[in-house]
């Protein structure tokens, strides 16, 4: 607000900008007429950001000055000539959307003055969707930008911002896969009769040593079988002879 056409001090809010005339200077500050029913007072500490030793070094009686309302009391309006912050630390919250000016570029990001005590920082990964190598590819010093507050650390006085959070995410274009012509080509279809039949696996041929060994084994088996058969035959004949002799002993003899 930059107007003094205010009906009463009740409508004045902190940070309201006013224009007034310096009525009187003192050791402690200055008395200013801001068009209200009660006077405006500027303390010496509120004349400038830099330390002030003497009020007259900054303002003089009759001088027109621009001031901002700090607070309104019953008997006076406390003013300041130091432009107040647009955002106090207690006012800064995540997800807020803010506007500001790019004041510095670093390899890792861009610093944006959003009206707080310190600039907020947009990391290079939060400047835009997709890969960004350097901040200079997206912004330059002096650019007016809009960003979203991601995080605020009041103790360290750090503000993290994101510009890409306010931009619609663009889907990456993926070209259709081309059909592999070489792999896709098919030769003339062969008839069943033309398809070669897989030959049965043949047993590996035996070496001369293996053949000799196998023949020796077969001969030994045959001899063993023959001996067993002959032994059985011998036992059978002995049993028959024994039976025949036994039968002869039991038969009555003729007399």
| Domain boundaries defined on the chain | 11-80, 89-166
**Would the pTM count as exceeding 0.75?**
no
CATH architecture of 11-80: Beta Barrel (2.40)
According to the model, what pLDDT value does residue 222 have?
76
pLDDT band at residue 180 using 50, 70 and 90 as cut-offs: low
The beta strand positions in the chain, using DSSP E, are: 17-25, 29-33, 40-43, 64-72, 77-80, 97-106, 109-113, 120-123, 144-153, 158-162
Beta bridge mates, 21: 33, 64
115: alpha, beta or left? (left if phi > 0; alpha if psi -120 to 50): left
Query: How far apart are alpha carbons 26 and 44 in whole angstroms?
Result: 9
CATH architecture of 89-166: Beta Barrel (2.40)
Q: Which two tokens stand for residue 16?
A: 């309201």
According to the model, what pLDDT value does residue 151 have?
97
pLDDT in tens, 199-218: 444 545 567 777 777 777 77
Q: Report the chain's mean pLDDT, rounded to a whole number.
A: 82
Closest CA to 40 of 26, 56, 21, 53: 21
pLDDT in tens, 8-59: 666 788 899 999 999 999 999 999 999 999 999 999 999 999 999 999 999 9
First to last CA, the chain: 169
Q: Do domains 11-80 and 89-166 have the same CATH topology?
A: yes
């Amino acid at each position: 607000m930059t107007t003094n056409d205010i009906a009463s001090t009740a409508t004045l809010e902190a940070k309201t900008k006013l224009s007034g005339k310096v009525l009187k200077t003192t050791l402690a500050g200055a008395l200013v007429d801001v068009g209200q029913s009660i006077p405006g007072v500027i303390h010496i500490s509120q004349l400038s950001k830099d330390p002030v030793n003497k009020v007259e070094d900054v303002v003089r009686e009759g001088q027109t000055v621009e001031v901002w309302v700090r607070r309104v009391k019953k008997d006076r309006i406390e003013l300041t000539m130091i432009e107040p912050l647009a955002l106090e630390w207690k006012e800064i919250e995540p997800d807020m959307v803010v506007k500001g000016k790019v004041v510095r570029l670093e390899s890792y990001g861009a610093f944006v003055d959003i009206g707080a005590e310190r600039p907020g920082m947009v990391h290079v990964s939060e400047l835009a969707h997709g890969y960004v190598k350097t901040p200079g590819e997206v912004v330059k010093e002096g650019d007016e930008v809009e960003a979203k507050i991601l995080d605020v650390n009041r103790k360290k006085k750090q503000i993290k911002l994101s510009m890409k959070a306010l931009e619609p995410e663009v889907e990456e274009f993926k070209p259709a896969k081309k059909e592999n012509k070489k792999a896709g080509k098919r030769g003339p279809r062969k008839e069943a009769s033309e398809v070669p039949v897989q030959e049965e696996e043949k047993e590996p041929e035996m070496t001369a040593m293996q053949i000799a060994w196998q023949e020796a084994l077969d001969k030994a088996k045959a001899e063993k079988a023959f001996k067993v058969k002959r032994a059985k035959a011998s036992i059978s004949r002995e049993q028959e002879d024994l039976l025949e002799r036994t039968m002869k002993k039991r038969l009555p003899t003729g007399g």
